[in-house]
């Protein structure tokens, strides 16, 4: 086998390795935290905080109501006990009871409102929680797929590197050195010759070049400098 063909085969492997490595790093960049999951987690935390505050508010209102109920009972007990004889004092006490009752009614109204808000917030928390679970499951599935794909690519890359090694052992080290320099410079070091045209630069080769390519030597395109390979 001519050295140009060997180098061409080596290049095929190199290009395949490059492409697989690109895919691998693209996949690696997709691994990690999900923005969507983080966003919903924050949303959940906010709603949970709100719910906690509402429950706290609900309890204080309930305690205030209990306190008022006790006060009303005590005042009414005094009012109907007959212990107070003074009419002015009785009227005052009556007003006091009415005021306490009005305050109690107002707080009971407020307690109902808060209870409503608590229920709404509880529904929200449950809804966001569900959403989060769904997102997390989807994200985990994706991550699993990505790491499976990474494993698959790594195995392919390892095979390709082995293939590269085997191919390169058949080629003179000097030729490989030259090939690698050209690759660094031009991306592709070996260009096929098709219908008298160098596929590297798409320029028609002079007859002398074509004749030399048919020999067993390493011939460079006189236009782009790539190693020519006649299939
Ligand atoms: Zn060329």
Distance CA 227, CA 141 (A): 47
CA of 52 to the centre of ligand 1 (A): 74
- pLDDT score, position 112: 97
Ligand 1 center to 160 CA (angstroms): 27
Both tokens assigned to 223: 């236009």
- 128 vs 118: CA distance, rounded Å: 15
Mean pLDDT rounded to a whole number for the chain? 95
Residue 183 has pLDDT above 90, yes or no: yes
Strand order in the sheet with 227-230: 203-204, 197-198, 190-194, 227-230
Residues 107 and 57: beta-carbon distance below 8 Å: no
The average pLDDT across 100-129 equals 98
Distance 59 CA to ligand 1 centre (A): 84
Distance CA 131, CA 137 (A): 10
Quick one: what percent of the chain has pLDDT higher than 70? 100
- From CA 231, how far away is CA 212, in angstroms rounded? 14
| Cα 2 to averaged position of ligand 1 atoms, centre (Å) | 19
What separation in Å is there between the alpha carbon of 228 and the centre of ligand 1? Answer: 8
Ligand 1 center–CA 226 separation, angstroms? 6
The pLDDT value given to residue 215:
79
Q: How many CB atoms lie within 10 A of CB 14?
A: 20
Range list of H helices, the chain:
3-30, 35-81, 87-169, 173-186, 207-214
pLDDT in tens, 12-42: 999 999 999 999 999 999 998 899 999 999 9
Determine contact, residues 125/48, Cβ cutoff 8 Å: yes
* Distance between Cα 16 and ligand 1 center (Å): 22
Which of 1, 17, 9, 19 lies closest to 192 in space, CA to CA?
9
CA of 165 to the centre of ligand 1 (A): 27
Give me the pLDDT at residue 214, please.
86
CA of 89 to the centre of ligand 1 (A): 116
Closest CA to 15 of 166, 193, 187: 187
CA of 224 to the centre of ligand 1 (A): 4
Distance 231 CA to ligand 1 centre (A): 15
**Residue 196 Cα, ligand 1 centroid: separation in angstroms?**
11
The CA radius of gyration of the chain, in Å to the nearest whole number, is 42
């Amino acid at each position: 086998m001519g050295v140009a063909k060997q180098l061409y085969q080596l290049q095929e492997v190199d290009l395949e390795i490059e492409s697989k490595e690109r895919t691998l790093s693209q996949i690696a960049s997709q691994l990690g935290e999900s923005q969507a999951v983080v966003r919903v987690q924050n949303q959940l935390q906010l709603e949970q905080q709100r719910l906690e505050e509402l429950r706290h508010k609900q309890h204080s209102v309930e305690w205030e109501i209990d306190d008022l109920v006790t006060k009303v009972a005590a005042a009414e007990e005094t009012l109907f006990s007959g212990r107070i004889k003074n009419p002015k004092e009785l009227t005052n006490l009556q007003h006091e009871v009415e005021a306490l009752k009005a305050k109690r009614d107002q707080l009971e109204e407020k307690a109902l409102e808060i209870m409503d808000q608590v229920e709404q917030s509880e529904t929200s928390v449950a809804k966001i929680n569900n959403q989060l679970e769904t997102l997390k499951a989807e994200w985990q599935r994706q991550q699993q797929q990505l790491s499976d794909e990474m494993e698959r690519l790594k195995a392919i890359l390892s095979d390709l590197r082995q293939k590269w090694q085997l191919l390169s052992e058949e080629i003179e080290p000097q030729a490989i050195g030259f090939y690698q320099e050209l690759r660094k410079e031009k991306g592709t070091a070996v260009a096929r010759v098709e219908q008298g045209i160098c596929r590297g630069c798409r320029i028609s080769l002079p007859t002398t070049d074509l004749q030399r390519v048919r020999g067993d030597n390493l011939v460079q395109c006189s236009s782009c400098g790539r190693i020519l390979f006649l299939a």
